[in-house]
Structure 1
Amino acid sequence: MIRSDASSTSPSLVIAIFALTGLVVVSQLYLPLPIMQPLDNSYGASGWPVSWVLSAFGLAYAAGFLVFGPLSDRLGRRRVLLYGMLSLIAATLLVTLARDGKELIIARALQGFCAASFPPVALAYLGETLPVPRRMTAIAWMSFAFLSAAVLAQIFILSLADSNLQTAETIAAGIYLVALGALLLTMRTYSRVTATPQGTVRDSFRRLPALILSRTLCPYYLATFTLLLAFVSFYLLISSDSNATLASLKLSPLALRGAALPGMAITFLAPRLAQRYGAQRVLLASFTMMVSGLLYSSLSLSDSTSTGLILGNLLLAGGVALAVPLLIIAVSSKAPEADRGSAVALYTFVLFCGASSAPFLGNTLESYGLQGALMMLCSLPSLAILILTTWSRIAGHRPSPDSSTA
């Protein structure tokens, strides 16, 4: 049972605070992306692969989703959000104190786990406390915040005078402290009385293997894994080759990343497009946009202008921004009602496992050169299209214009 005095806090203000907090929290995953080479120069000598600076955060972040969602059902959203933000501040300060690669990777893993306390619990909180007409608006803005973090985090660290991770993390810790105060004020009238839970956290974990292997959900989880794997790998490859490629195209790293932001805004159109054309059809179109973006980026490297790379980047970002909410719709609508929360938590786990695998894929593809590597990345969204199309035919669910679910 939930009690709230929503009248004392404007829903628009609540949405703004939560969206901005979500933006700065999720930004942590992408913050080191443009500075992997400087990090390798600073910490690589310690014998710890610098790629784990990304992967350790991402894997711990993904695992945290499976913990904090069920935990907030039993302890309350407010308690998990506030203590989670407090722990994130402490973990972020630990990152600034890391002296070698080992300490940095451990601190980043702890930071990732603490950061996972915000996104799923915040979405649940907004869904429970906001007026019904404002809930879809909140989800749209939260999705946009989570997606745009991939670009804005990179722009932020590149805009610093020294592009130093410790400097960026010190600033981030200060921002999280402000966010903690804003959350305290926003949720001061909110209280939750938890009813007797159905089952335990252990019961929720026991059902996860059946969900991920479900004939209904498995194709969507497989497609989900390719999503951020391709997107993060793209920026890793661009960053590792930026001195050669971007300089020859007279394109700054900031300009390339900024060009992706307009594509992110397409996430606001996802529900309307799905309602009009069918979610399955639009989902396939989103992965097709990703293939087109990667292919166009690869082919454009043969030219002497930056237009092709910018357009390819825009298409890739737009495809990702369109696919994320549609996959959430697909998973939540196909999952059994009793397991819907666990199914969505599992979706986020798979999504960020893909992001965490990107450094390893990027290192493998570097030997093929940037143009060849981007061409090979096309196989990931192409595989997602193949999986979803094949499953649709086998299951007998051919997309139709009036279909509203995937």
Structure 2
Amino acid sequence: MSLAPSRPTPRPAPATAPFARTAAVLSFTALLATGQLYGVIPLFAAMEDDWGAGRTTLTWMVSVFGFGYVAGFLLFGPLSDRFGRRRVVVWGVAATTLTTALVATAPSLGSGLALRALQGLTIGAFPPVAMAYVGERVEPRRRLVTLTAMTTGFLSAAVLGQLAAQGLAATVGWRAFFLFGAVAFAVAAVALHRVMLPDPPVGGRSPLDAYRAMPALLVSPRLRRLYLATLTVLGSFVAVFTGLELSGVDGLLGLRAAALPVILAIPFLTPRLARLPGPHRVGAALALAAGAVALAGLLEPGTAVLAVLLIALTGGIAIAAPGLVDTVGTRAGDARGPAISLFTAVLFLGASIGPQIAGPLTSHGFAPLAYVLAGLLLSGSLLAASTASAARR
């Protein structure tokens, strides 16, 4: 597990990773990683009592983690080209054991924000590097299913992370959420080391090559509209759940749990969904999500109808995210590693901005927030669908 770079030697053909074990461990770690992003939302009330900070201010506990997360994507994705995918993932997740435990010790909001940013930075080593690993080491016909399983882990964290945090805060206090999380990350680090294939020799590649490639990828005609669409995906998703929390909607526990079945069903539907070209699939999924959010604002429904609309929103997001990463990775060619690092950075940059959109807009009720988010999702839908012609060039 040394971080010393491999010596330049002839590179053998990479072995194929075991599908079931790889998908299971990566999905579990994805659940833990993003569970730390979403899990803070139900803790606002307890943190408010402990620290004396207002709930709108406490939304920064979500955002600073997200900003650290994004910085980790951009830092560690290219570094994994130099030091190897498994090394970077395992060391990053192991370090998150410590940074997560430290958040539980925070005596004030200021220190909590600093530690949350550090926590986001260390676990930022996981998503882009794991996605690049899947693209290189998983059998091609299993790749989309594995990416979808990982995405399911990221998205189910929106439900399971909040449910775990809500339950722990009610029984043993909000700090326990981070202590239990630290133990889980330690388990994940060991599992990743055992399941991921050893890193092949990487031939002395410089991370600077990947960093230099990123600005060109952002403005590439084949990718730039996909990146803009990506910004709306988790940004809207996190903003909806933050807005519901800030609005004091009744039955939040049931609303969070209602979305879980559709998240878990998406990987099983992936072979059928894959028949539709990526841009069209993403466009349709984001349009579905936009319609669900718009109806939630327009109808201001009761708990049962709101649960159905949240299921539709969650389904749209769960289809769109893996469709985007698959399309971006395919179009990036040899620049797959930095392109996916950028994708995950943009995805969670949106998630970091989402709570700051929700904060001011929910002061006027949930409806204004819903209309703004529906417009953003519809824009993302149109942007993604409009890239279909780029695949034929």
Q: Which residue pairs with 1:254 in the alignment? A: 253
- What is the CA–CA distance in structure 1 between the aligned matches of 2:155 and 2:228, rounded to whole Å? 20
Distance 2:365 2:54 in 1: 27
SS in 1 for 2:222: coil
Q: Secondary structure at the match of 1:190?
A: coil
What is the aligned partner in structure 1 of residue 79 from structure 2?
71
**More displaced 10-residue stretch of structure 1: 305-314 or 315-324:** 305-314
Tell whether 2:288 aligns with 1:279.
no
**Could you tell me whether the CA contact under 8 Å between 2:289 and 2:316 is conserved in 1?**
yes
CA contact (8 A) 1:333 1:405 kept: no
Instruction: State the match for 2:175 in structure 1.
Output: 166
CA gap of 1:324–1:131, structure 2 versus 1, over 3 A, is: closer
CA deviation string 1:196-220 (max 9, x = no partner): 32xx222322222222122222111
Counterpart selection for 2:157 from 149, 163, 167? 149
**Mapping 1:6-405, distance limit 5 Å:** 11-45=19-53, 49-160=57-168, 161-162=170-171, 164-187=173-196, 190-197=198-205, 200-242=206-248, 245-246=249-250, 252-264=251-263, 265-270=265-270, 272-275=272-275, 277-301=276-300, 303=301, 305-335=302-332, 337-388=333-384, 391-392=386-387, 397=389
How large is the Cα RMSD of the aligned pairs?
2.7
Q: Deviation per CA, 1:369-406: give whole Å up to 9, x if none.
A: 123322332111122234345x45xxx939xxxxx889
In the TM superposition, residue 94 of structure 1 has moved relative to its aligned partner by 1.0
| Amino acid corresponding to residue 283 of structure 1 in structure 2 | V
Q: What is the TM-score of this pair, normalised by structure 2? A: 0.88
SS of structure 2 residue aligned to 1:297: helix
The CA deviation at 1:333 is: 2.9
C-alpha spacing 1:268/1:53, structure 2 compared with 1 (3 Å): same
Q: Is the 8 A contact 1:65 1:349 kept in 2?
A: yes
Structure 2 Cα separation of the partners of residues 328 and 62 of structure 1: 16
Once residues 370 and 194 of structure 2 are traced to their aligned partners in structure 1, the CA distance between those partners, rounded to angstroms, is: 46
TM superposition score normalised by structure 1: 0.85
Equivalent pair of 2:51/2:109 in contact (CA under 8 Å): yes
The structure whose Rg is larger is 1
**Contact 1:266–1:321 under 8 Å retained in 2:** yes
Q: Which runs of 5+ in 2 are unaligned?
A: 1-10
Matched position secondary structure for 2:354: helix
Question: How far has the Cα of 1:46 moved from its partner?
Answer: 10
Contact 2:66 2:352 in 1 (8 A): yes
Letter of the 2:258 counterpart: A
| Counterpart Cα distance in 2 of 1:240 and 1:34 | 10
How far the C-alpha of 1:185 sits from its partner, in A, is: 3.2
* Structure 2 CA distance for partners of 1:30 and 1:361, relative to 1, 3 Å: same
Confirm or deny: 8 A CA contact 1:85 1:114 kept in the other structure.
Answer: yes
**Could you tell me which amino acid in structure 1 is paired with residue 317 of structure 2?**
V
Q: CA deviation at 1:33?
A: 1.5
Change (3 A) 1:130 1:367: closer
State the one-letter code of the partner of 1:60. G
Equivalent residue, structure 1, for 2:6: none
Q: For 1:126 and 1:274, how far apart are their aligned partners in 2?
A: 17
- Contact 1:260 / 1:317 at 8 angstroms: preserved in 2? yes
Aligned partners of 1:43 and 1:50 also within 8 Å: no
Deviation per residue, 1:26-57 (Å, 9 max, x gap): 21111101222432343354999322211111
Tell me which residue corresponds to 1:401. Answer: none
Please list the CA deviations of residues 87-108 of structure 1 after superposition, one character each: whole Å capped at 9, or x if unmatched: 1011011101111111101111
- The question of whether the paired residues in 2 share the 8 Å contact of 1:88 and 1:111 is answered with yes
Aligned length in residues: 381
> Residues 356 and 3 (structure 1 numbering): CA distance in 2 closer, same or farther, change over 3 Å?
same
Cα distance per residue 1:200-250 (max 9 Å; x no partner): 2223222222221222221111111111111101000101122xx31xxxx
